[in-house]
């Protein structure tokens, strides 16, 4: 079935270093959402991208949606210990008519060493 | 406070002993869904409901049942739990069916089946 691949699975950085996680779909997506799950917590919505080539920023976080609407990335500049957690992308796949399916990526676990 | 409430948060049970994980939301959301989270596999959808009395299978429905008799409640039923159902379970809801809007997740229910 349809999959959304996310890489890397795990990333360990020193505090202050940058971090990027990538999300790839084999099919065109209607939109893509990003969620963050703190250790021991639940996924929390961060942002949604809808347009081809769209770029959005939230402070040190930059989100991009590819031109073909098949891939996305999340870049964190100058990581802080508060950035620790698992980042999930979730692609909305159109199935025809008004029907869509939200497919989660496998997630990237970010560890930040002070 | 707008939220999704799951109970129990933690449960240890034995093979074959029926159990129910409750989920309730106070946001008048139409769409509700259950996910399981396992290491390396991300969030996989078990069942979802687009409205009262409307439920459908997700990607991993085997061994689970659900019901949606009221808009606010969406319980997950394990009729005869097995060890491979040991997992972290999340209930989620959204205002617009099929995840076109963002998902609000519950705090999670960690289930261990011995």
Chain segment A18-41, per-residue pLDDT in tens: 999 999 999 999 999 999 999 999
Out of B42, B45, B100, closest to residue A92 by CB: B100
Asked whether the beta carbons of residue B103 and residue A104 sit closer than 8 angstroms, the reply is: no
Asked whether the beta carbons of residue B41 and residue A48 sit closer than 8 angstroms, the reply is: no
Residues in CB range of B23: below 8 A, 6 or more apart: B4, B5, B6, B32, B34, B73, B74, B75, B76, B91, B106
Region of poorest pLDDT, from A69-78, A81-90, B80-89, B99-108: B99-108
Task: Please state the separation of Cα A47 from the chain's center in Å.
Answer: 9
Asked whether the beta carbons of residue B98 and residue A101 sit closer than 8 angstroms, the reply is: yes
For residue B101, pLDDT beyond 80: no
Which residues in A lie closer than 8 A to residue B40 (C-beta atoms)?
Answer: 9, 106
B18-77: per-residue pLDDT in tens? 999 999 999 999 999 999 999 888 899 999 998 899 999 999 999 999 999 999 999 999
| A72, A89 contact by CB (below 8 A) | yes
Which of B99, B104, B106 should we substitute to test contact with A (largest number of A Cβ atoms within 10 Å)?
Answer: B99
Alpha-carbon distance of A112 to A9, in angstroms, equals 15
A78-104 mean pLDDT: 87
User: Helix, strand, or coil here: B85?
Assistant: helix
For residue B96, pLDDT beyond 90: no
Which pLDDT band, with edges at 50, 70 and 90, does A101 fall under?
confident
A52-61: per-residue pLDDT in tens? 999 999 999 9
Which of A8, A104, A105, A106 should we substitute to test contact with B (largest number of B Cβ atoms within 10 Å)?
Answer: A104
């Amino acid at each position: 079935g349809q999959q959304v691949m996310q890489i890397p699975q795990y990333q360990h950085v020193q505090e202050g270093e940058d971090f990027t996680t990538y999300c790839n779909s084999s099919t065109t997506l209607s939109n893509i959402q990003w969620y963050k799950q703190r250790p021991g917590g639940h996924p929390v919505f961060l942002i949604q991208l809808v347009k081809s080539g769209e770029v959005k920023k939230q402070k040190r976080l930059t989100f991009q949606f590819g031109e073909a609407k098949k891939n996305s990335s999340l870049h964190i500049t100058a990581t802080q210990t508060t950035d620790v957690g698992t980042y999930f992308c979730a692609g909305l796949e159109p199935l025809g008519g008004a029907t869509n399916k939200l497919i989660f990526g496998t997630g990237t676990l970010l560890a930040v060493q002070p | 406070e707008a939220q999704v409430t799951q109970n129990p948060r933690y449960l240890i049970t034995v093979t074959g002993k029926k159990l129910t994980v409750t989920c309730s939301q106070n946001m008048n959301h139409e769409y509700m869904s259950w996910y399981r989270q396992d290491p390396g596999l991300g969030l996989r959808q078990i069942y979802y409901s687009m409205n009262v009395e409307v439920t459908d299978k997700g990607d991993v429905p085997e061994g689970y049942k659900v019901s949606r008799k009221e808009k606010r409640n969406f319980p997950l039923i394990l009729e005869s739990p097995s060890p491979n159902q040991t997992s972290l379970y999340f209930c989620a809801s959204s205002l617009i069916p099929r995840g076109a809007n963002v998902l609000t997740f519950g705090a999670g229910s960690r289930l261990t089946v011995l």
